Structure 1
Amino acid sequence: MIDEQQRRAYLGAMQVTTWLPRTVLPFAAPSRPELLTLPAVAAEPPRSRPQPIARQAQAAQLGPEASVVDKPAAPRKIAVLPLKSASGKAAAPQVEASAAVAVVRREPPPRFALQLLRAGNCLLLVELPSGELFASRDPAYRLLKDLLRAAGLPDSPRAVGEPIRWPLIRGNREFDQGPAAARDYVRAVVQGQLEQEPAVCVWLVGTPAARFAGEEDEVAACREVALGGLGSAWTLPGLDQLMEAPPLKAELWHSMRRAMRRWTSEQ
């Protein structure tokens, strides 16, 4: 049994101000006599009921209207609306939630391989046609050397870092590797190289290089473009495309003559 102080603390926490024990509690304070006195209940006066004869006489005096008033009122009929099932209420939010999830779809990751090269005061971002590093006897690499000699740049470019291969993490569907993520990654790599060693012009060789280093999905070849925050760039067709379509070399040569002022004036 608990003592009086703890008992009052518990009762106060339960907001009980007046209480009476059913039995004598040990260690309890004596009860106050005024709490044991029950208030007197006032007796209600008996209701007088009219005698049947008097009611008949009164009805006869008032006329036929009195009998209509004495009739009990008929119970009103309350229209009961059918209740909707709980399953019907829960189905609507589930359908809306599933529709919202279906709208969010990730674009498939693009596939490409790019290599950063240094040639004089220019930085080259070149698409690797085979996905592997250039070899000295690779026809695409020899074509690139010819382009550098025609542009007045060293024909032995220096590789910078490892190739940029996308998707970055293969077989991972939880990580977003869509076109927007690829663009952010490629631009971050190019920006990091320009911060370490500035360049007067960036060559973007191949469609993936022009697309993911720039800010637009489709960039025409043989054009001078401005890369937001990365300086000036010159777009070129892919090396494999130049080998398959020789007429593109004439258009490339005319575009090169206009763009050469960017790197020849700095030498």
Structure 2
Amino acid sequence: MIPELRRRAYLSAMQVASWLPRVALPFAAPSRPELLEPLQEPVGEAQPPAIAQPESPPVGDRPATVHPRLEVPRPKSQERNIRPVVSDEPQTPVPTPKIAMEAPPRFALQLLRAGHCAVLVELPTGEPLQGRDPAYLLLKDLLRAAGLPDSPQIIGQPVRWPLLSRGNMDQGPTAALEFVQSFVAARLEEQEPCSCLWLVGLPAIRFAGEADAGDYCRELQIEGIGPAWAVPGLELLMDEPVRKAELWQAMRRVKQRWMSQSE
């Protein structure tokens, strides 16, 4: 049972201005006996009985109560029937973030064998080098200047990247590096040991030697393959002839690797 103050607040929330209890309520103000007697109907026009509100007991007779914070109570029947409100509107699914894959690099490489050296050369047009191509004629000049046969032997098919034009396979730079190094190592195991691997062109330097353009004309050491030499691309040498001077100077130092085995 609720105290008098809480009951009054509840009736006020229900907009009940007058009320009369049927039985004595605990903690309620006592009702006057004359209000409980049945009303006599007048001889004239019947009037609706007036419902008197019970008088509040004197302050001294009222039990001491703790005045809580005034709230509008909720009937227990309504509390039992409370259900969470479910919206009929379709919920927009939260998109799952996708892992962005790096764009696959594009290049074509050909592995050759010239004496005690192997040559991994960039194919400028993506097609195998032909006898009258200016790039191939320049490569022959480089091999003669290095004291190597100027008619290199082709080893395997060209490596063209990306491998697939479609699909979800990762073909980014890391995958290209692993593939090219595995390809070169496997092909060189099938050949006689070589003294040095030429990496001709930036794609060959980057995806076989894990280096970049800043390593032109430098010697590299590739794990699982051995010593290598970074050479600028054939087209770059033709477009910028001034690079040939630095290349010739570097060749004098590096060619001792294979010239000692030729003697």
TM range (shorter): 0.5 to 0.7
The 1:86–1:232 alpha-carbon spacing in structure 2 relative to 1, beyond 3 Å, is: farther
Partner of 1:115: 110
Partner of 2:244: 249
Residue identity in the other structure for 1:131: G
Gaps of 5+ in 1: 1-55, 57-62
Equivalent residues in 2 for 1:37-76, closer than 5 Å: 67-69=61-63
Partner of 2:173: 179
Q: Deviations over 1:85-134 (max 9, x none)?
A: 779xx77x92xx54x33xx2112111111000001111110001111111
Partner of 2:188: 194
| 1:225 and 2:220 aligned | yes
Gaps of 5+ in 2: 1-31, 33-56, 75-83
Equivalent residues in 2 for 1:204-243, closer than 5 Å: 204-243=199-238
Match of 2:220, SS state, is strand
In structure 1, how many angstroms separate the alpha carbons of the residues matched to 2:243 and 2:68?
Answer: 99
Give aligned-pair identity as a percent. 50
Q: TM-score, normalised by structure 2?
A: 0.66
Task: Give the structure with the larger helix fraction.
Answer: 1
In structure 2, how many angstroms separate the alpha carbons of the residues matched to 1:261 and 1:79?
Answer: 99
How far apart are residue 194 of structure 1 and its match?
2.3
The 1:196–1:68 alpha-carbon spacing in structure 2 relative to 1, beyond 3 Å, is: same
How far apart are residue 187 of structure 1 and its match?
0.6
- Contact 1:215/1:228 (<8 A) preserved: no
In structure 2, how many angstroms separate the alpha carbons of the residues matched to 1:237 and 1:75?
Answer: 86
In structure 2, how many angstroms separate the alpha carbons of the residues matched to 1:121 and 1:84?
Answer: 81
Q: CA RMSD in A?
A: 3.4
Equivalent residues in 2 for 1:14-25, closer than 5 Å: none
The 1:74–1:204 alpha-carbon spacing in structure 2 relative to 1, beyond 3 Å, is: closer
- Contact 2:140/2:150 (<8 A) preserved: yes
In structure 2, how many angstroms separate the alpha carbons of the residues matched to 1:235 and 1:84?
Answer: 70
Q: Name segments (4+ residues, structure 1) moved above 6 Å.
A: 73-76, 83-87
Q: TM-score, normalised by structure 1?
A: 0.65
- Contact 2:202/2:212 (<8 A) preserved: no
- Contact 1:242/1:248 (<8 A) preserved: yes
- Contact 2:200/2:233 (<8 A) preserved: yes
| 1:152 and 2:147 aligned | yes
How far apart are residue 137 of structure 1 and its match?
1.3
Q: Deviations over 1:114-158 (max 9, x none)?
A: 000001111110001111111111111111111111101111100
How far apart are residue 225 of structure 1 and its match?
1.1
Partner of 1:265: 260
Residue identity in the other structure for 1:179: P
